Amino acid sequence: RKEVEQDPGPFNVPEGATVAFNCTYSNSASQSFFWYRQDCRKEPKLLMSVYSSGNEDGRFTAQLNRASQYISLLIRDSKLSDSATYLCVVNYWVGGYQKVTFGIGTKLQVIP
Binding site for another protein (CB under 8 A): 4, 6, 8, 31-32, 34, 41-46, 49, 87, 89, 91, 93, 95-105
Query: Cβ closer to another protein: 29 or 112?
Result: 29
Q: Which is nearer to another protein, 65 or 98 (CB)?
A: 98
CB of 106 to another protein, least distance (A): 10
Q: Which residues pair with 35 in a beta bridge?
A: 48, 88
**Residue nearer to another protein on the CB measure, 96 or 112:** 96
Identity of the residue, 17 or 72, whose beta carbon is nearer to another protein in the bound complex: 72
Question: At its nearest, how many Å lie between another protein and the CB of residue 71?
Answer: 14
Task: Compute the distance between CA of residue 76 and CA of residue 53 in angstroms, rounded to an integer.
Answer: 19
As measured in angstroms, the least distance from the Cβ of 32 to another protein is 4
For the chain, the residue count is: 112
Distances, alpha carbon 11 to alpha carbons 17, 20, 40, in Å: 11, 9, 15
60-65 and 55-57 strand pairing:
antiparallel
Tell me which residue of 87, 81, 102 sits closest to 38, measured CA to CA.
87
